[in-house]
Amino acid sequence: MEFVNINDGNSFDPTPRLKSSPIPIKFLSFNREDEKCFNCGEEYIETILCSWQNYCKKCLSRYINDITDNNNTYLDVYIYTMDLECSNYEISRTIVSQNIQDFCGNCERIICFKQIDGFIKSGYGTDNDNKVVERLVGS
């Protein structure tokens, strides 16, 4: 029996550039009722756009520090930069980034994780959150 390649360019791959993470992703909860991180016990932060997407800021920071390969993308997100004058690094990118390795926990929030199911909020929170989402949807 011969294997046949069915990836003829017409196949749809929703995550074509994502690789499998070499480090376990412990900062996400897939139980929408969890309030505290199952890994460290810190309280989860809700993403701006999706009310069922929660993440642990502490474990996310640890994950990003442990990822040493910046050439691969392991998780695709929309990131919002709240403080353009962050003292940790020089910001030289647009207001919305998509690479989790670019995340700075001091000045940024996650709008949403693109490949994780989530319930889109009817009201996004603050007026500033609403402007961010409107800008994202418009792009």
pTM of this structure: 0.66
Does 131 map to a domain?
no
Domain count, the chain: 1
Provide the residue count of the chain.
139
Does 17 map to a domain?
no
Does 16 map to a domain?
no
Does 124 map to a domain?
no
Q: Which domain holds residue 51?
A: 28-117
Does 125 map to a domain?
no
DSSP for 88-125, please give it.
SS---S-SEEEEGGG--TTTEEEEEETTS--PBPSS-S
Does 113 map to a domain?
yes
Does 111 map to a domain?
yes
Taking only the tens place, the pLDDT of each residue in 60-97 is: 888 888 887 767 677 777 777 666 666 555 444 444 45
- The separation between CA 40 and the C-alpha centre of its own chain, rounded to angstroms, equals 19
Does 126 map to a domain?
no
Q: Please give the Cα distance from 120 to 48 (Å, whole number).
A: 9
Taking only the tens place, the pLDDT of each residue in 23-52 is: 888 998 888 889 999 999 999 988 888 778
CA angle 47-133-57, nearest 5°? 20
